[in-house]
Amino acid sequence: MTASERVRSTVVVVTWRGRDHIEACLDALAAQDRPHRTLVVDNASDDGTADLIAAHPSAPEVLRLRRNTGYAGGIAAALDRIHTPYVAWLNDDAAPASGWLAALEAALDADGSAAAASSVLRTPDGRVQSTGVRLTADGHGADAPDASEGVFGFCGGATLLRTAHLRSVGGVPAHFFCYYEDTDTAWRLRLAGHRIVPAADATASHLHGATTLPGSALFHRWNERNRLLTLLRCAPAPVVGRELARFAAITLALPLRRATGARSVPDAANFRVALRLRVLAEVAAGLPAALRARRRIGLTARVPRREIWNTWAGS
């Protein structure tokens, strides 16, 4: 292997019961035009996924966990095994184009201050699903359909990070299980003074929600809880107080609004009182750890929390 062919990236694919789609992901990785290492983290799949991975001709390395730790837990478990300068996160239901990794590496090579590069995720019919993550006025990490003005963060479904930078900001919040591990990580990288850049030529087809169903009660529980925990860890204090109070106030008001027949109450799972009360209980239980993390993040931050918020938060 020549110097120009050396492996600089480890692609981490986290799977759980991915039998129906992981072969397409591994096939796409095998077709990459840039040499790399593939590490599959199997979250204790019990549907034959392990056999499919073992039989795949690309012979990826496998880290099989004893229990399902979610996407965040899987990425965190892999980090100790990464020795390449770059680490890619890739969903098991994503199939990157052959030049995907080369485009991501080129984006980081071109910008020495960038800690991560975001991909363009497309639906199977070709529509743009995400070019990265934008930060909304209420602290949601939402898909950015257009990266022409830059992106706040990256979508964890397909991205490339500098391994040393990821470690320097504390790695991945494994306790998130899934959702917002990407927004939280991007936020910490920005607080540390690093940039996240879009890579328009790094494209991947993404099924989205092949493992967890968007709109389900579990989806909303993890989404709402992890958004609030991310704010507790990373956002300016007034924003944290405002959004916690807003979430609690809406929760308490829902029974009254329904009792009076209000038509404006959404029927989505995240407006079920029981779910929201569970979210508040889990956030309360995680509050001490979140505040300790907030202090650690603040001690190493090079950019004020308020500056990050004012620059990137918007409707």
Token reading at 108? 């980081």
Give the tens place of pLDDT for each residue, 68-123.
999 999 999 999 999 999 999 999 999 999 999 999 999 999 999 999 999 999 99
What span, in angstroms and rounded, lies between the C-alpha atoms of 18 and 2?
Answer: 35
Picking from 155, 298, 140, 302, the residue whose alpha carbon sits closest to that of residue 233 is 298
- What integer pLDDT is reported at residue 2 of this predicted model? 47
Q: Which helix (H) or strand (E) holds 104?
A: helix 100-110
> What tokens appear for 29 in the block?
């990785």
Q: What is the pLDDT of residues 202-257, one digit of tens each?
A: 999 999 665 666 778 999 999 999 999 999 999 999 999 999 999 999 999 998 87
Determine the Cα angle at 256 with ends 255 and 262, to 5°: 100
